[in-house]
Every structure is written in C-alpha cells, then in structure tokens.
Chain A
Amino acid sequence: EPEVTQTPSHQVTQMGQEVILRCVPISNHLYFYWYRQILGQKVEFLVSFYNNEISEKSEIFDDQFSVERPDGSNFTLKIRSTKLEDSAMYFCASSTQGLQSNQPQHFGDGTRLSIL
C-alpha cells in the first residue's frame, strides 16, 4: 500500500538554527499538509498546500515557517530560526482531493524534532 514517507525520523538541532523536514507524499496525491504534535498535546494543523501554493495555514504557521515542493516528489517544511517550543513531532500528510470530496488525509510516521 502506498505510504507517505518522512525523513529524518529524528532531528536534533540547536536553537536558532534552520531545519528542513522532508516528506515524500503518496505519488498520485495532489494535496499536502503538515501537522505537529507537541508531547502530551493534540495533533495540530499547520498548513495545507495545493497547486504550488499555500491553501490554508494556522496561527502557528508564522513567518518562521515555510513550505516548498521543490520537485515532483518532495514536500518540505522549513523552520528558519528554531525555538525551544518548536520541539514536537511533525507529521506530513497527503490526499487525492480536499476534505470536501470525502478524501481522507494519509499521514507519514513523523519526524521528531528536538531543539536544544
């Protein structure tokens, strides 16, 4: 069964450094998402991406965050200057259509980001 894959599985970074989290969505999917989960808290939406542009973002997704689809397969999340509170599990997801078309989002296994 096709899967969303994320790399690395664990990223340790010094505060203030830039970090890029990588995702390969399912190949025929057109909609891409990032979520995060701080330890002990709920999974939170960050951003959705379709047709090479952001379609929706949350309040969490401020100027320090950016997303990119640099080629036909990868989808990345960049945090420019990491803060301690960015430590979380980051999940990438993808779907064939938007939620209005009854198409669920399929998630990868996440990247654990630890900021020191």
Chain B
Amino acid sequence: GESVGLHLPTLSVQEGDNSIINCAYSNSASDYFIWYKQESGKGPQFIIDIRSNMDKRQGQRVTVLLNKTVKHLSLQIAATQPGDSAVYFCAENRGDSSYKLIFGSGTRLLVRP
C-alpha cells in the first residue's frame, strides 16, 4: 500500500506533542470530507469525517477542522505516538450524488521517539 511520492510534504514531531496536518481542497461545492491514514504496505484507513454543515468534529485523540471560506481542512492529533507515523490523506466528495472520493496528495507524519 505504498502511497509514497518522492515529494510528499513531511511533518516531523516529537512523541507526545500535538500534530496538525493541513489540506487545501479544490471545489467549493464539496460537502463531505474524510481523513485517511496509510501505513506502509496497507490501504487507506478511515480516521474521521466531517460534513460541510459542521466546522469541527472530534474523535479519539483526533479533531478535524473545516474552514469553508478558504477551502481548508486540518487534522489535529493529540499526544502523537510512534504508531501515528504514516501518510495522511484528505479526501473530498463533491456531492451531486457523486460516489467518488477525490484524494489529496498526502502528508507524511514522522514521530520522533
């Protein structure tokens, strides 16, 4: 499940710190967003989602923030752990009864022990 590009942006954080991963989406009509985590050799794993009528949603140790004005999505991970090291993708759905997700290019998160 390598989702690696040679030019993936990388975020390096110390274990225990909070991480913030950002994503700019392209279409103002998009109304549903998902964050996925992809570890080496595996497929995208669902983390958290948010619909456009919300601006914040919290899960276990994760929070997603949505700013529709500037078409920006962020994923906050509290107390980052070594197991959080992976590539993170945002994905958007453009509504209009579309079934497809449009993926961003991903951010690699490295957690330093």
From B34, B99, B103, A104 is in contact (CB under 8 Å) with B34
Stretch at the interface among A13-21, A41-49, A62-70, A74-82: A41-49
**Is the CB–CB distance between A43 and B89 below 8 Å?**
yes
Give the residues from 9 to 65 in chain B that come closer than 8 angstroms, CB to CB, to chain A.
32, 34, 36, 41-46, 49, 51
With A56-B98, A99-B93, A104-B49 in contact, do A43 and B103 touch (Cβ < 8 Å)?
Answer: yes
B74 at interface, CB cutoff 8 A: no
B6 at interface, CB cutoff 8 A: yes
**Is the CB–CB distance between A89 and B2 below 8 Å?**
yes
A37 at interface, CB cutoff 8 A: yes
B86 at interface, CB cutoff 8 A: no
**Is the CB–CB distance between B104 and A42 below 8 Å?**
yes
Q: Smallest distance from the beta carbon of A7 to chain B beta carbons, Å?
A: 13
How many residues of A are in contact with the other chain, CB < 8 A?
Answer: 31
**Is the CB–CB distance between A91 and B43 below 8 Å?**
yes
Q: Smallest distance from the beta carbon of A39 to chain B beta carbons, Å?
A: 7
From B36, B41, B93, A109 is in contact (CB under 8 Å) with B41
**Is the CB–CB distance between A56 and B43 below 8 Å?**
no
A51 at interface, CB cutoff 8 A: no
Q: What's the Cα separation between A105 and B35 when bound, in Å?
A: 11
Give the residues from 69 to 102 in chain B that come closer than 8 angstroms, CB to CB, to chain A.
89, 91, 93, 95, 97-102
Contacts of B106 in A (CB 8 A): 42
A55 at interface, CB cutoff 8 A: yes
Q: Smallest distance from the beta carbon of A65 to chain B beta carbons, Å?
A: 15
**Is the CB–CB distance between A40 and B6 below 8 Å?**
yes
**Is the CB–CB distance between B101 and A99 below 8 Å?**
yes
The 5 closest A-B pairs by CB, nearest first: A48-B99, A45-B100, A107-B43, A43-B103, A99-B93
